Amino acid sequence: MPVDKPGLEPQKEHVAEALRLVPSVGFDIDEVNDTLEGAAPDEIVRWALRTFGRGLIMSSSFGAESALMLHLVTRDAPDVPVVFLDTGYLFPETYQFAEELTQKLKLNLRVYGPKMTAARQEALYGRLWNGSDEDLAKYQQMNKVEPMDRALRELGATGWLAGLRRGQTEFRARLRVVEEQDGVFKVHPILGWSKQDIRDYMIAHDLPYHPLYHFGYRSIGDTHSTTPTTLDQDERDGRQLGEKRECGIHLPRTPEANASLKSSGL
């Protein structure tokens, strides 16, 4: 029988209480988090689907273990829009993996990319990822943050499923199951899962890893910011993403930054 978290049986009364916390306009985010903390991932997905309906989307990097979240979510929400950010600098294997999973899981894939091509960016600004912190921030803004903002806006998203885990970065360690980020509610079904939980789910459902995973690439992004790691290293050691080791789309912005983006039309 398929399992969602090894050794954890969903508590029916716990789930029923969570599903009752469905607002018509808003909800008490603290109450929701108190209820959903420790709930099985599939129940959290169903709560999000019930709560946000057609306003629910998910994002996927089609990275090392992305098949897990895609499988988990689309079992209950097969038509959910899956936002894939194509920076123009992904590995050929990533594009091939995305195509494989799109066909295998019949994904409602929505590909978003930067407004400026990679060639034009490099001609005008050089290789921003090799520059200062400000240059890297500009690269992230152009290639990841703006395209994701555009996807959220065009898809009318009010809820966003993301496969973040507390064990990945210091920033993610502080997250709750449901967070508000820049006017959209982020929902993290596997936030509390360990690496062993991930492995068990992947095996139980015969899900494929990214082709580069078996060559030591355990956290996979752009070609220029991804390197293989050894087993004694943290998986995020293979990503050159600045001090916070985040790509930008999962970091909340200040009110001043939001105002600046809105005034610039981004």
Scanning the structure block, which residue is given the tokens 């050794």? 7
Distance from C-alpha of 86 to C-alpha of 112, rounded to nearest angstrom: 6
Distance from C-alpha of 200 to C-alpha of 197, rounded to nearest angstrom: 5
Record the tokens describing residue 54, joined without a space: 């057609």
Distance from C-alpha of 169 to C-alpha of 241, rounded to nearest angstrom: 12
Record the tokens describing residue 113, joined without a space: 């990319």
Within 10 Å of residue 144's Cβ, how many Cβ atoms?
22
DSSP-derived pairing of the beta strands 184-187 and 178-181:
antiparallel
Sequence-distant (6+) residues with CB within 8 A of 154 are none
State the Cα angle at 194 between 53 and 172, rounded to 5°: 65
Distance from C-alpha of 150 to C-alpha of 228, rounded to nearest angstrom: 31
Residue positions annotated with a catalytic role: 247
CB 197 within 8 A of CB 189: no
